[in-house]
Structure 1
Amino acid sequence: MNDLLFIVFTGIGATLAMDLWCILRKPLLGLPRPNYGMVGRWIAYMTRGKFRHDSIAASAPVRGEHMIGWVTHYLTGMTFAALLVGIWGTAWIQSPTVGPALAVGIGTVAAPFLLMQPGMGAGIAASRTPKPGSARLQSLITHAVFGLGLYASALVATRALSI
């Protein structure tokens, strides 16, 4: 049971770190925060059998899309934390190190590049956006922050849960 609590705590903590970075990007870099309502819209359309959009923003809004998006965002963070533990094992829980956390964090950039962005109409690795290079770099940085969040949250979870 402690392993499950560790994964949940670590995933939520890492996702919070990512969200804090996205809040800081606005004043530091002038970049808008992600709109998880669009993720919710995309997920909601999947239940209707539609997995790809020319532009998710042009698709009709769906009731509850913001809540769906935010819940999906945090569940995804917990899933990636479980992936980290699944790859590096419970020994990593007892003694977290930054390398595996950063590797998983950066590796998770494959999800938006290969699934979300194409499905939502932005193309593979944001290729259909006005500034694909910038979008890719921001995704990479954000997922690196998520990885650092995995590590920091794991350190806190290990102590808090007396693992």
Structure 2
Amino acid sequence: MFDIFWRCLAIGIGATILMDLWAILYAKLSGGGMPNWAPVGRWFYHLKNGTVFHRDIGESAPYAHELALGWIGHYAVGIVYAFLLVLFTGAGWLAAPTFLPAWIWGIITVGAGWFLLQPGLGIGWAASKTPNPNKVRFLNLVAHTVFAVGLYGTALLIR
């Protein structure tokens, strides 16, 4: 059991690192900015009060350490997703990882962003209130596919 715990922890961290490396590469290639985890940190902070959905997270009371909390939350979610992947596929996946379950899980996890985090931040269901929601949705799918590659790749490295 302890071995499964450490493997899932490593897989979640590895997959999230790959996702972040993708974000850096995309920012350099597109000339766009890097993801800002401060609003996510503010969102996590306000969860303690039972507030899940905000009209605009920028109008919610700030938290002094929201950027740090956003990064911690980002990695914590990646780790939880790795644990859930192993829970759903079984511990045998750790011994013989395959890409398809990781990719399916990566795509499924986009739903948490579209239907929980994004409306929670006040940008609408599946980024519907953003200037270009289809671009955001496409980039979410790409980022979570990269995350899935990270789940699979890290599992291969540590098996």
Structure 1-normalised TM-score? 0.93
Counterpart in the other structure of 2:118: 117
SS at match of 2:64: coil
SS at match of 2:13: helix
Using the alignment, how far apart are the partners of 1:48 and 1:63 within structure 2?
Answer: 16
The yes-or-no answer on 1:26 pairing with 2:27 is yes
Per the TM alignment, residue 66 of structure 1 is displaced from its structure 2 partner at its CA by 1.1
One-letter code aligned to 2:25: L
Structure 2-normalised TM-score? 0.96
Per the TM alignment, residue 140 of structure 1 is displaced from its structure 2 partner at its CA by 0.6
Per the TM alignment, residue 30 of structure 1 is displaced from its structure 2 partner at its CA by 2.5
Counterpart in the other structure of 1:107: 108
Aligned-residue sequence identity (percent) comes to: 43
Stretch deviating more after TM superposition (97-106 or 47-56):
47-56
SS at match of 1:79: helix
Stretch deviating more after TM superposition (140-149 or 61-70):
61-70
User: What does 1:137-148 align with in structure 2 at a 5 Å threshold?
Assistant: 137-148=138-149
Q: Over the residues paired in the alignment, what is the CA RMSD in angstroms?
A: 1.0
Q: How many residues align?
A: 158
Counterpart in the other structure of 1:89: 90
One-letter code aligned to 2:51: K
Structure 1 segments, 4+ long, off by >3 Å, are none
User: What does 1:1-163 align with in structure 2 at a 5 Å threshold?
Assistant: 1-158=2-159
One-letter code aligned to 2:59: A
One-letter code aligned to 1:137: F
Per the TM alignment, residue 57 of structure 1 is displaced from its structure 2 partner at its CA by 2.2
Structure 2 residue runs without a partner (length 5+)? none
Per the TM alignment, residue 50 of structure 1 is displaced from its structure 2 partner at its CA by 2.2
Using the alignment, how far apart are the partners of 1:87 and 1:31 within structure 2?
Answer: 36
SS at match of 1:96: coil
SS at match of 1:8: helix
Using the alignment, how far apart are the partners of 2:87 and 2:103 within structure 1?
Answer: 15
One-letter code aligned to 1:50: T
